Amino acid sequence: MAKTLFDKIWEQHVVDSIPDGPDVLYIDRHFIHEVTSPQAFAGLNSRGINVFRPERVFATADHNVPTIDQHLPIQEKLSRLQVEKLTENCKAHGIQLFHLTHKHHGIVHIIGPELGITQPGQTIVCGDSHTATHGAFGTMAFGIGTSEVEMVLASQCLMQYKPKKMRITVDGKLGQGVVSKDVILYIISTLGAGGGTGYFVEYAGSTFRNMSMEARMTVCNMSIEMGARGGLIAPDEKTFEYLKGRLYAPQGADYDRQVPNWKELFTDPDAVFDKELEIRAEDIPPMITYGTNPGMGIPVDQPIPSRAGEEKALEYMGLKKGEMLLDKTVNYVFIGSCTNARIEDFRAVAGLVKGKQKAENIRAYLIPGSKLVEKQIDDEGLRLVLEEAGFEIRQPGCSACLGMNDDKVPKGEYCVSTSNRNFEGRQGPESRTILASPLTAAATAINGKITDIRNLV
Amino acid sequence: MEKFKTITSTAVPLPAENIDTDQIIPARFLKATDRERFGDNLFRDWRYDEKDQPKGDFVLNDDKYQGSILIAGKNFGSGSSREHAAWALVDYGFRVVVSSFFADIFTNNALNNGLLPVQVSGEFLSMILEKTISNPQEQVLVNLDDQEIKLLSSGASAHFEINSYKKQCLQNGYDNLDYLVNILDKVTRYEELTQKP
């Protein structure tokens, strides 16, 4: 029978099946961080259980860490305690931790791929809903809660019901100034914030094939924003090339043996999906959001639509139906997060702002996704370009994406952000988030108001 | 985990749609390393103003509405995977959330904490919201054994779905961890068989 890529990976990982119940799935890679793991370790400790396969678990402190002075002890007490707890738990259980001063430290979904820990065909989980990022490598990757983190630590397995399958096909060439972030914002605005709930998505078509691995990660990252458990893209030569020589990827002869297995990871031509969506790349414009969930997105040059039930969101955002966002003054720009904090994002931003100055009203934060990305920014001479343009480069972490540390957007202020969520208060109490691509964010920083990148390139 | 028993309670109506887990518990309250007292910050920014004073127009601050059943608009629990959202609801005293649609990860987190998500039709949801808003004394019965939710005053009822395995877990207070740690030899055999790298 013809199978989807998702079916193939699922079937390869079934350890046990409970009659009329879930499958027990083996988990190849488990990422943990400081915020959603302490209660899981406490649970294990209270039951006297050890971590079953510590070599399959990788840890980083990213959500709750400062993005300045990372070499110093963390000032804020609760954050410090949480990071200390993670360090203590990793040490006690023999888990690899990329601590704050480690040369490979960074946001969990940036470092996994960057270090080659993420590999095609794997099952990957993390107590974080953006785990779908790793789907860009043809993996089945999804977010879990802390009780499930505890289960995976205890058994390297998870009980799961098989979700329905959706294929989203985008074919054709993207227009000028349109990038992967616009593609996923367009998809989410088409399906709505709950349109993917109950599904696992496969992204297919020439538009994704033509994307770099980093661009694919941006797409898969936001699968959860339409409610989907995860999203994946079949691996190809770009995937194999990306992994070659990375620290935790198979090396030499091992790599050569793996590639033929990875090449088997595709959806059979006759495989059937529960739902299909087809989109033409040329229909996708630069996108921005106007509301308080990522499904509330529009083309940057269009007015806010008149839809019933959105009044509360618009009131929160201080916006009106029919209003244009284009040319609206904003004072904050945030370029970072597991969605858009990879080197290609910063190259694109630097290319756009080179020789220009940010507008006076703008405060522009730029947060690399990892120490390695930060190093690339330095090695490629981008730091100078970005700082001369007036951008503030900080150290790696989740930062103002969720405002757990000091990087917050003040009450009532708009922030054009490359992150993934525009929920009420997401970037700080009563902050107002407008999601966009790194190009749109950079152009907005230069002009001091929301800008259509197509008028700038 | 506590066994789930039949519940009869008044309900707290919260008709907003797409209530994400950032609203249920904002990120800045996720800094604890235990599971205690998250209920204090349940719906924090809807419930309290910036001076930490209760906002009069929010339903949790309205003494008329009490009970262990929360009734919310569609797509409840979207967004972040934070289980703290389920902990906050349970710690506050909720045992059931009724909506017409739940986010996947929230559903798992709720069930893993003995909090029952009851999914009903949009029509039934509108009706039950209207009844409980207009009559705060309205008694709602949630019977897991029969998979039924009922308004006691009118007898209006709806069936809800739950997987038989999850149902048994809730009825008996089992959790998945109990099962998983008992099949570790099977897991080891799987690893050997597949020669997991």
CATH label of the domain that carries residue A29: 3.30.499.10
In a domain, B100, yes or no: yes
Distances, alpha carbon A318 to alpha carbons A292, A323, A431, A433, B155, in Å: 11, 11, 11, 11, 43
pTM of the model: 0.97
pLDDT band for position B196 (50/70/90)?
confident
Q: Which of A431, A394, A437, A395 is nearest to A417 (CA)?
A: A437
Q: At what angle do helices B104-111 and B84-92 cross, to 10 degrees?
A: 50
Q: What is the pLDDT of residue A76?
A: 94
Q: Which of A149, A154, A183 is nearest to A169 (CA)?
A: A183
User: How many angstroms separate the CA of residue A92 from the nearest CA in chain B?
Assistant: 16
Question: For B86-103, what is each residue's pLDDT tens digit?
Answer: 999 999 999 999 999 999
In a domain, B1, yes or no: no
Question: For A253-312, what is each residue's pLDDT tens digit?
Answer: 999 999 999 999 999 999 999 999 999 999 999 999 999 999 999 999 999 999 999 999
Q: Which of A26, A78, A309 sits opposite B190 (nearest CB)?
A: A26
CATH of the domain at B28: 3.20.19.10
- Interface probe for B, chosen from A64, A78, A131, A157 (most Cβ of B below 10 Å), is A157
In a domain, A275, yes or no: no
Is residue A16 within 8 angstroms of chain B, CB to CB? yes
In a domain, A229, yes or no: no
Q: Report the domain count for chain B.
A: 1
In a domain, A117, yes or no: yes
In a domain, B2, yes or no: no
Counting one residue from chain A and one from chain B, the pairs whose CB atoms sit within 8 A come to 180
Give the residue on B whose Cα is nearest the Cα of A427: B27
Q: Which of B104, B160, B85 is nearest to A197 (CA)?
A: B104
User: B103 vs A227: CB contact, 8 Å cut-off?
Assistant: yes
In a domain, A44, yes or no: yes
Quote the distance between the C-alpha of residue A62 and its chain's center.
13
In a domain, B90, yes or no: yes
- Whether A456 has a pLDDT exceeding 90, the answer reads no
Question: For A98-143, what is each residue's pLDDT tens digit?
Answer: 999 999 999 999 999 999 999 999 999 999 999 999 999 999 999 9
Residue A82, Cβ neighbours under 10 Å: how many?
26
- Interface probe for B, chosen from A31, A129, A130, A200 (most Cβ of B below 10 Å), is A129
Tokens describing residue A223: 């699968």
- Whether A425 has a pLDDT exceeding 80, the answer reads yes
- Name the A residues in 144-163 with CB < 8 Å from any B CB: 144-148, 150-151, 154-157, 159, 161, 163
pLDDT band for position B111 (50/70/90)?
very high
Q: What is the pLDDT of residue B175?
A: 87
In a domain, B122, yes or no: yes
Question: For A374-413, what is each residue's pLDDT tens digit?
Answer: 999 999 999 999 999 999 999 999 999 999 999 999 999 9
User: How many angstroms separate the CA of residue A339 from the nearest CA in chain B?
Assistant: 14
Q: What is the pLDDT of residue A417?
A: 98
Question: For A36-75, what is each residue's pLDDT tens digit?
Answer: 999 999 999 999 999 999 999 999 999 999 999 999 999 9
Q: Tell me which residue range forms the domain holding A433.
A: 303-455
CA–CA separation, A243 and A413 (whole Å): 41
Q: What is the pLDDT of residue A210?
A: 98
- Whether A341 has a pLDDT exceeding 90, the answer reads yes
User: B20 vs A293: CB contact, 8 Å cut-off?
Assistant: yes
Average pLDDT over residues A351-368: 97
In a domain, B127, yes or no: yes
User: B196 vs A404: CB contact, 8 Å cut-off?
Assistant: no
The per-residue pLDDT of chain A, averaged, comes to: 97
On whether the CB atoms of residues A212 and A237 are closer than 8 A, the answer is no
- Whether A457 has a pLDDT exceeding 60, the answer reads no
The per-residue pLDDT of chain B, averaged, comes to: 96
Select from A107, A139, A160 the last residue of a domain. Answer: A160
Q: Report the domain count for chain A.
A: 2
Q: Which of A22, A157, A402 sits opposite B165 (nearest CB)?
A: A22
Q: What is the pLDDT of residue B165?
A: 92
Q: What is the pLDDT of residue A40?
A: 98
Q: Tell me which residue range forms the domain holding B138.
A: 7-194
Question: For B46-60, what is each residue's pLDDT tens digit?
Answer: 999 999 999 999 999
In a domain, B28, yes or no: yes
Select from A137, A160, A183 the last residue of a domain. Answer: A160
User: B34 vs A227: CB contact, 8 Å cut-off?
Assistant: no
User: A144 vs B31: CB contact, 8 Å cut-off?
Assistant: no
Q: What is the DSSP letter of A187?
A: H
% of chain B residues with pLDDT over 90: 95
